[in-house]
């Protein structure tokens, strides 16, 4: 295998092999953009190293060969004493990953070459500044020395000189700082800072490989569902210098605003600076637009390049660049992260610009982003005390208790508190706390700071750079400009869409996107929100191309009406057990306690009109659309009082010699119905078979409701669904009884009802014998919640709290199978059962109800296996519509 690629050899489609950074550096090189020459070591080399513990045998020679070529091109050798070639060693995996090794700049500098660099540049200070940066970065990231030790030494040097920022240190100061840094390295590692340039480079390369498996990197991968075996590439890139004085500098830019999608000039620039100075918040950056005054030629060239990149990538790009004495260099680009709102706006803008088509626009957004846009926002009309304002870095309205460190954020959130993580600035060590927090607030850093970038990636609310807030993490408090103090535990509210920070809890209101779906805001209105317009267009694209229909899980008219507004094409699951609760619970008790058939019938008689009234409302609100009604499913004991409460009541009554006959009977019933494994017990179709008259009553309520709607000129389309069937015989018995009842009702009301009768497929046996079951079913609805429970043998109510975390940590799942369908196991049963069912009955209607129906990845799977519809909770409907469109596009 070839392990090393020159930048001229790669291209943007080789991300698997060259990582994102390497692939895009190659792409820019081949576009003729000014990229400093270099080469990329492949992820394959990294994989070999990670598996075997040593670099592949051929790697050294290949690196030497590419280094030779680079030296030739540059006309100098790595670390050459009188004129050193310097390089950066940069990590770069397929997916950009905070938490991996930081870049090491200025590799090749040594005691011998530092004066050569000074002479060549005619700048003594610059050379020593570069050298101290090398020892600092190399010491921290390659040799594992605590970075604080260098920071402290630097602070001390500034203090001793009485200056505030590092640019005020002169050559002599930096030279003695270098000596100090070298002492730190020697003391901490027991060896001297390596003077051999090639050794520096090789150690840095190995450190990049190793950084794939740091805890932080692993945590991030889990969070983002990135596979653990991809490995990282390593980029070796010849150095250009932004720290050569005021006509040099470094910056970051976006081709359009990653928060709103608006086109314009967005970015930050820092004069006389190197590498990450610009994002580290150590000095104040200037807005990119100011570069036009500072260096017009470079600014114009950059604008030109940004346009080239946008048209080439057909998407928002983010960019890192450096200017060395008036010459612009491109150091990185990639298709940039963006907020959910910006994703929708950018997708439609690009369609309008003719850069992409509608099908591509659908791929530029996703259901998770849409879900995020449906979060509520702060009520701006409410009285709220603004205590500061920062940069709106990642939208959302977050309320929580102030915490000032990652540890407390995690601890408090574990005990159920909502927290806002407040830091001066964040770094990769804060990742755990950021995950745990509702939102993140920093007092320093811009739109491209660590906090902003990571929060956007996680879809977490973030306000950064709120400079008037003084954050004291040691004292765990924050002070506002007018002297208000926010202590740890005080509630604050932060608005990631406006950058505002409030003391106390601010009430929240629904998002405009929800207002739009609710029909309270119209995309066509002149003053319609740009975001609403974009969402409207994207939803229209999705609805146009999708094959899967989307239904709602809804049990009452109110939910049904909302579902319809959100675009539901019917109800896929109406759970009738919800109609047995509240004051009706007593009737169920009577049913359970009935000693004689007459008592039992009387109890059912009582329930009938109530059920019927519920169905009439439901059919009315879903007029013309299918409504799947599931007959009673849960174990009966769920309708009875808790066994402990009841025992106490009985014991108390006994002690007081009070009347307690009824409670005693109840208690006996509870004992009788008690089951060790209720989920596998007397429930579903088994109830219908064991309690005569129960299902008949429910079927009658459905049929009579449908008949009344029909006679009122409605268009009811009820479908009766039998839960927990394991064999076709169960279904046949229930069907026979149901058909009799329906025929009776049709006769009395003089209508033809066209009710269909189908079953849930939620037991492995049902899935395995789907071909037989289809003989007696008009439709299947896959109950993937129970199917997952029974296929895995997991109790859904228990496992998430008990061992799932361990399973996730060990990588047995990337995600809970209750959240996203397990394609290989549960999914393969669904696929086969669908095929077997259709083999028996080609017109068999197939759907899925349960949590998976609104999960983006699962929706794609259900599309692929050919189901007719998915059913999910009303709020997930837009997400399911969008994902069904994306799956078909
Ligand atoms: P990250 O993955 O954290 O963005 P990079 O490898 O892009 O790390 O390096 C961070 C910064 O270091 C770059 O944005 C750039 O400013 C600087 N840098 C990297 N390589 C070079 C180089 N060859 N010359 C000058 N600056 C560089
Ligand atoms: Mg970095
Ligand atoms: Mg970078």
- Three-class DSSP labels, 178-239: HHHHHHHHHHHHCCCCCCCHHHHHHHHHHHHHHHCCCHHHHHHHHHHCCCCCCCEEEEEEEC
Q: Give residue 1's pLDDT.
A: 86
The winner for highest mean pLDDT among 99-113, 305-319, 516-530 is 305-319
Specify the CATH number for the domain of residue 260: 3.30.470.20
| 499 and 618 fall within a common domain | no
Ligand 2 centroid to 101 CA: how many Å? 7
Known catalytic residue: 450?
A: yes
Residue 887's CB is within 10 A of a number of other CB atoms, namely: 21
How sure is the predictor about 417, in pLDDT bands with cuts at 50, 70 and 90? very high
Q: Are residues 249 and 331 in contact, defined by beta-carbon separation less than 8 angstroms?
A: no
Count up the domains in the chain and report the number. Answer: 4
74-108 CB burial, b ≥16 within 10 A, e <16: bebbbbbeeebbbbbbbbbbbebbbbbbbbbbbbb
291-338 pLDDT tens trace:
999 999 999 999 999 999 999 999 999 999 999 999 999 999 999 989
Among 252, 275, 279, 325, which residue has the most ligand 1 atoms within 8 Å of its CB, making it the best to mutate? 275
Q: Percent of the chain beyond pLDDT 90?
A: 75
Average pLDDT over residues 271-299: 88
* 327/228 same-domain check: no
Residue 343 lies in a domain: no
Question: Which stretch of 172-181, 263-272, 286-295 has the lowest confidence by average pLDDT?
Answer: 263-272
Is 448's C-beta closer than 6 angstroms to any atom of ligand 1? no
Residue closest via CA to ligand 1's atom 15 equals 275
Note whether 93 and 221 are same-domain residues.
yes
Check residue 96 and give its pLDDT: 85
Protein residue closest via CA to atom 18 of ligand 1: 275
If phi > 0 it is left, if psi is from -120 to 50 it is alpha, else beta; for residue 342 that is: alpha
- Check if 637 is active-site: no
Q: Taking the chain, what is the end-to-end CA distance rounded to the nearest angstrom?
A: 37
Residue 90 near ligand 1, beta carbon < 6 Å: yes
In whole angstroms, give the CA distance from residue 132 to residue 26: 30
pLDDT surpasses 70 at 457: no
pLDDT value at position 532?
Answer: 95
Number of the ligand 1 atom closest to the C-alpha atom of 92:
2
Backbone phi, psi, residue 259, to 5°? -95, -35
Q: Which of 315, 335, 355 is the last residue of a domain?
A: 335
- For residues 188 and 292, state if they share a domain: no
The per-residue pLDDT for range 190-216, each reduced to its tens digit, is 999 999 999 999 999 999 999 999 888
Residues 6+ apart with CB under 8 A from 178: 114, 128, 131, 132, 135
pLDDT, one tens digit per residue, over 368-407 is 899 889 887 888 777 788 999 998 888 889 999 999 999 9
In-domain check, residue 368: no
Mean pLDDT of 454-468: 84
Is there a contact between 834 and 866 (Cβ–Cβ < 8 Å)? yes
Confidence check: pLDDT of 805 > 70: no
The first and second tokens of residue 708, run together, are: 């009344």
Q: Are 431 and 556 in a shared domain?
A: no
pLDDT for 448 beyond 70 = no
Q: What is the pLDDT of residues 631-649, one digit of tens each?
A: 999 988 888 888 888 899 8
Q: Which structural domain range is residue 294 located in?
A: 249-335
**Res. 460 pLDDT band, cuts 50 70 90:** confident
The one catalytic residue among 450, 536, 860, 863:
450
Q: How far is CA 313 from the centre of its chain?
A: 24
Average pLDDT over residues 476-488: 94
Same domain assignment for residues 232 and 259: no
Write the secondary structure of 590-612 as one string of H (helix), E (strand) and C (coil). HHHHCCCHHHHHHHHHHHHHHHH
In a domain, 692, yes or no: yes
Read off the CATH number of the domain in which 854 is found.
3.20.20.60
The domain that contains 491 carries what CATH number?
3.50.30.10
Task: Label residue 107 by pLDDT band (50, 70, 90).
Answer: very high
Same domain, 137 and 266: no
666 within domain boundaries: no
Are 208 and 300 in a shared domain?
Answer: no
| pTM of structure | 0.81
Given this model, what pLDDT does residue 223 score? 67
For 828-862, what is the HEC assignment? HHHHHHHHHHHHHCCCCEEEEECHHHHCHHHHHHH
pLDDT score at 830:
98
Q: Is the CB of 253 under 6 A from ligand 1?
A: no
Q: Is residue 523 part of a domain?
A: no
Domain identity same for 186 and 292: no
Q: Is 333 in the pocket of ligand 1 (CB under 6 A)?
A: no
Q: Determine if ligand 1 sits within 6 Å of the CB of residue 208.
A: no
Same domain as 551, residue 403: no
Q: Which ligand is nearest to the CA of 90?
A: 1
Whether 133 lines ligand 1, by a CB cut-off of 6 Å, is no
Picking from 799, 765, 758, 796, the residue whose alpha carbon sits closest to that of residue 779 is: 758
Q: Which atom of ligand 1 is found nearest the CA of 38? A: 23
pLDDT score of 312: 97
H or E element that contains 718: strand 717-722
Does residue 742 lie within any of the structural domains? Answer: yes
- Who wins on pLDDT, 593 or 437? 437
Per-residue pLDDT at 582 exceeds 70: yes
Q: Which atom of ligand 1 is nearest to the CA of 276?
A: 11
48-101: pLDDT as tens digits: 999 999 999 999 999 999 999 999 999 999 999 999 999 999 999 999 887 677
Beta-bridged to residue 330, according to DSSP, are: 321
Nearest ligand atom owner, CA of 96: 1
Q: Which residue has the higher pLDDT, 339 or 563?
A: 563
Answer yes or no: is the C-beta of 95 below 6 A from any ligand 1 atom: no
- Do 291 and 419 lie in one domain? The reply is no
Take atom 7 of ligand 1 and give the residue whose Cα is closest.
332
Confidence of residue 660 (pLDDT cuts 50, 70, 90): confident
pLDDT bucket at 165, cuts 50 / 70 / 90: confident
For residues 622 and 614, the answer to whether their CB atoms sit within 8 Å is no
276 in ligand 1 pocket by Cβ < 6 Å?
Answer: yes
pLDDT digit string (tens) for 680-711?
999 999 999 999 899 999 999 999 999 999 99
Residue 252 alpha carbon, nearest atom of ligand 1: 14
- Interaxial angle between packed helices 828-840 and 784-792, expressed in degrees from 0 to 180 and rounded to the nearest 10: 120
Q: Are residue 554 and residue 420 in the same domain, yes or no?
A: no
Q: How far is the CA of 101 from the centre of ligand 1 (A)?
A: 12
Of 769, 800, 762, 815, the C-alpha closest to 784 is 762
Task: Tell me if 417 is assigned to some domain.
Answer: yes
pLDDT digit string (tens) for 17-61?
Answer: 999 999 999 999 999 999 999 999 999 999 999 999 999 999 999
Condensed to tens digits (0 to 9), the pLDDT of residues 767-785 reads: 999 999 999 999 999 999 9
Asked whether residue 289 carries a pLDDT value surpassing 80, the answer given is yes
Please identify, among 275, 309, 335, the residue that sits at the C-terminal boundary of a domain: 335
Tokens matching residue 647: 């025992």
The Å distance, Cα 437 to ligand 1 centre, comes to 30
DSSP conformation class of 429:
G
807-861 pLDDT, tens digit per residue, is 876 778 877 898 899 999 999 999 999 999 999 999 999 999 987 999 999 999 9
- Mean pLDDT for the chain? 93
Q: From the CA of 22, which ligand is nearest?
A: 1
Q: Is residue 831 part of a domain?
A: yes
How many A from CA of 102 to the centre of ligand 2?
A: 4
Sole residue written with tokens 């004495």:
325
How much is the pLDDT for 800? 59
Distance (Å, rounded) from C-alpha 537 to C-alpha 524? 10
Residue ending a domain, choose from 203, 238, 273? 238
């Amino acid at each position: 295998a070839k392990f090393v690629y020159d930048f001229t050899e790669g291209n943007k489609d080789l991300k698997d092999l060259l990582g994102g950074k390497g692939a895009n550096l190659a792409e820019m090189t081949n576009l003729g953009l000014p990229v400093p020459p270099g080469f990329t070591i492949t992820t394959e080399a990294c994989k070999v190293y990670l598996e075997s513990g040593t670099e592949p045998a051929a790697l050294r020679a290949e690196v030497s060969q590419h280094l030779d070529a680079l030296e030739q091109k540059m006309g100098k050798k790595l670390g050459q004493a009188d004129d050193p070639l310097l390089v950066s060693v940069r990590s770069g995996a397929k997916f950009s990953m905070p938490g991996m090794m930081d870049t090491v700049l200025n590799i090749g500098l040594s005691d011998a070459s530092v004066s050569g660099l000074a002479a060549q540049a005619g700048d003594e200070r610059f050379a020593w500044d570069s050298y101290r940066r090398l020892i600092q970065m190399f010491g921290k990231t390659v040799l594992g020395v605590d970075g604080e030790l260098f920071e402290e030494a630097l602070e001390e040097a500034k203090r001793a000189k009485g200056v505030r920022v590092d640019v005020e240190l002169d050559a002599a100061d930096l030279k003695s700082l270098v000596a100090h840094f070298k002492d730190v390295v020697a003391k901490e590692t027991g060896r001297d800072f390596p003077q051999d340039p090639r050794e520096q480079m090789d150690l840095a390369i190995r450190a990049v490989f190793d950084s794939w498996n740091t805890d932080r990197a692993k945590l991030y991968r889990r969070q983002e569902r990135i596979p653990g075996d991809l490995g990282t590439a390593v980029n070796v890139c010849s150095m250009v210098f932004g720290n050569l004085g005021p006509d040099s500098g470094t910056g970051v830019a976006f081709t359009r605003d990653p928060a709103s999608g608006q086109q314009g000039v967005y970015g930050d620039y820092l004069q006389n600076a190197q590498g990450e100075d610009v994002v580290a918040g150590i000095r104040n950056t200037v807005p990119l637009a100011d570069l036009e005054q500072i260096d017009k030629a470079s600014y114009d060239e950059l604008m030109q390049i940004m346009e080239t990149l946008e048209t080439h990538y057909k998407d928002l790009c983010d960019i890192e660049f450096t200017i060395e004495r008036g010459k612009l260099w491109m150091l990185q680009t990639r298709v940039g992260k963006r907020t959910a709102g910006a994703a929708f706006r950018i997708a439609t803008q690009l369609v309008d610009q003719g850069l992409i088509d509608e099908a591509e626009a659908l791929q530029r957004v996703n259901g998770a982003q849409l879900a995020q846009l449906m979060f509520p926002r702060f009520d701006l009309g409410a009285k709220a005390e603004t205590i500061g304002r920062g940069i709106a870095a990642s939208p959302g309205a977050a309320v929580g208790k102030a915490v000032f460190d990652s540890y407390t954020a995690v601890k408090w959130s574990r005990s159920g508190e909502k927290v806002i993580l407040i830091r001066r600035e964040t770094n990769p060590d804060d990742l755990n706390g950021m995950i745990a927090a509702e939102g993140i607030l920093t007092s320093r850093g811009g739109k491209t700071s660590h906090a902003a970038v990571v929060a956007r990636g996680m879809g977490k609310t973030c306000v950064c750079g709120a400079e008037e807030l003084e954050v004291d993490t040691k004292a765990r408090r924050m002070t506002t400009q007018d002297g208000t103090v926010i202590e740890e535990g005080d509630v604050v509210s932060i608005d990631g869409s406006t950058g505002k920070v409030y003391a106390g809890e601010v009430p929240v209101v629904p998002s405009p996107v929800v207002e739009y779906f609710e029909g309270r805001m119209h995309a066509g209105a002149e003053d319609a929100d740009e975001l609403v317009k974009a969402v409207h267009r994207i939803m229209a694209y999705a609805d146009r191309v999708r094959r899967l229909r989307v239904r709602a899980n809804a049990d009452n008219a109110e939910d049904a009406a909302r579902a319809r507004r959100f675009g539901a094409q019917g109800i896929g699951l109406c759970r009738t057990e919800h109609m047995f609760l509240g004051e009706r619970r007593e009737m169920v008790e009577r049913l359970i306690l009935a000693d004689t058939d007459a008592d039992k019938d009387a109890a059912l008689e009582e329930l009938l009109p109530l059920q019927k009234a519920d169905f009439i409302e439901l059919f009315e609100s879903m007029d013309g659309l299918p409504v799947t009604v599931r007959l009673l499913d849960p174990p009966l004991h769920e309708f009875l009082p808790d066994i402990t409460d009841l025992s106490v009541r009985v014991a108390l009554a006994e002690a007081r010699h009070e009347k307690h006959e009824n409670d005693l009977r109840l208690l006996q019933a509870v004992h009788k119905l008690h089951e060790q494994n209720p989920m596998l017990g007397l429930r579903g179709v088994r109830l219908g078979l064991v309690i005569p008259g129960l299902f008949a009553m429910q079927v009658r309520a459905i049929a009579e409701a449908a008949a009344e709607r029909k006679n009122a000129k409605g268009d009811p389309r009820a479908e009766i669904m039998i839960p927990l069937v394991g064999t076709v015989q169960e279904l046949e018995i229930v069907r026979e009884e149901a058909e009799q009842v329906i025929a009776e009702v049709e006769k009395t009301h003089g209508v033809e009802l066209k009710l269909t009768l189908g079953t849930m497929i939620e037991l492995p046996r049902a899935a395995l014998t789907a071909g037989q079951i289809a003989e007696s079913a008009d439709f299947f609805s896959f109950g993937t919640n129970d199917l997952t429970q029974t296929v895995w043998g997991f109790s859904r109510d228990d496992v998430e709290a008990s061992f799932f975390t361990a399973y996730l940590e060990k990588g047995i799942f990337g995600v809970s199978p209750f959240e996203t369908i397990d394609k290989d196991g549960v999914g393969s049963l669904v696929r086969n059962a669908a095929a077997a069912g259709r083999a028996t009955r080609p017109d068999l209607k197939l759907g899925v109800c349960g949590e998976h129906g609104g999960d983006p990845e699962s929706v794609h799977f259900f599309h692929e296996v050919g189901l007719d519809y998915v059913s999910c909770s009303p709020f997930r409907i837009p997400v399911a519509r969008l994902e069904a469109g994306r799956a078909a596009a």
